[in-house]
Amino acid sequence: MQKYWNKIPSYFRNKYFITVLVFAIYMMFFDQNNMVSQWRLNNKVNELQEEKSYYKEEIKKDRKASMELKTNKKTLERYAREKYLMKRDDEDIFLIIDEDEKD
């Protein structure tokens, strides 16, 4: 056993080096904030930032559409006809439903 111990370089046998090594291994793998957890959290943050930018773009589009509906009567009428199937008194509406989309 002694001959194997003597083959190890002296700086690896140092008690401070061993202590730091054990502490580093504990922090990397066994601590609550280990590297795997940090990596997962970083990925989650990136996903949430992408979602944030997507929703900001959607908000811009919706605000533009809302402003268009508030200011333009023709756009408002077209929206009401398409979305709520509203009609004028002298019009008839015919709905065509595909059988594939029904299910």
Q: Which residue has 């809302």 as its token pair?
A: 66
CA–CA separation, 26 vs 40, rounded Å? Answer: 18
The token pair that represents 40 in the structure block: 């997962």
Pick the closest to residue 88 from 77, 96, 79 (CA basis): 77
Convert the pLDDT of each residue in 51-101 to its tens digit: 999 999 999 999 999 999 899 988 888 888 888 877 777 878 777 888 876
For 101, the enclosing helix (H) or strand (E) is: helix 99-102
Highest mean pLDDT among 7-11, 27-31, 36-40, 42-46: 42-46
Is the whole model's pTM more than 0.75, yes or no?
no
Distance between first and last Cα of the chain: 76
Looking at residue 30, what DSSP letter applies?
Answer: I
Q: What tokens appear for 51 in the block? A: 């979602």
Domain boundaries along the sequence of the chain? 2-102
